[in-house]
A = this chain, B = another copy of it.
Amino acid sequence: MNLIEKGSGLYTDHYELTMAQGYFLSGRHNKPACFDYFFRKIPYQGGFVVFSGLSSLLELLENFRFDQDACIYLASIGFDERFVDFLSRFSFQGDIISVREGEVIFPNEPVLRVEGNILETQLIETVLLNILNFESLIATKACRMRLAAGRRLLLEFGLRRAQGLGGINATKAAISGGFDKTSNVYGAWQFGAESSGTMAHSWIQSFEDELTAFRVYAEHFPDNCILLVDTYNTLKSGVPNAIIVARELKENGHRLIGVRLDSGDLTYLSKQTRKMLDAAGLTEVKIVASNQLDEHIIQSLLAQGAPIDVFGVGTSLVTGKDDPALDGVYKLSWFDGKPSLKVSENKTKMTLPGKKTIHRFLDKENQFYADGISNIGEGTYDYIHHPAEPEKRKQVVNLQKEELMTQVMKNGKTIQPLASPAENAAFTLKRLQQLPEEHKRFLNPHVYKIGISEKLLASRNAVADHVYRKNEF
Contact = CB atoms under 8 A, between A and B. Distances in A.
A130 B164 contact: yes
Given A10-B185, A12-B185, A169 B161 contact: no
A183 B232 contact: no
A237 interface: yes
Interface string A207-242: 011100000110111001000000111001100100
Contact of A186 (B4, B336, B470): B4
A398 interface: no
B321 A199 contact: no
A332 interface: yes
A279 to B, nearest CB: 18
Contact of A237 (B14, B28, B240, B473): B473
A315 to B, nearest CB: 5
Contacts of A203: 19, 22, 122
Contact of A209 (B134, B332, B471): B471
Given A14-B196, A134-B163, A166-B166, 15 more contacts: A3-B165, A5-B5, A11-B184, A13-B159, A14-B184, A19-B199, A135-B164, A161-B325, A162-B163, A163-B169, A202-B331, A208-B470, A319-B324, A319-B325, A321-B324
A50 interface: no
Interface of A: 3-5, 7, 10-19, 21-22, 25-26, 28, 31, 33, 35, 70, 73-74, 77-78, 118, 122, 125-126, 129-131, 133-135, 157, 159-170, 182-186, 188-189, 194-203, 205-206, 208-210, 216-217, 219-221, 224, 231-233, 236-237, 240, 263-264, 315, 319-321, 324-327, 331-332, 335-336, 340-345, 467-468, 470-471, 473
A209 B470 contact: yes
Q: How many copies does the complex hold?
A: 2
A129 B160 contact: yes
A340 to B, nearest CB: 5
Given A166-B165, A342-B201, A22 B221 contact: yes
Contacts of A210: 471
A163 B161 contact: no
A234 to B, nearest CB: 10
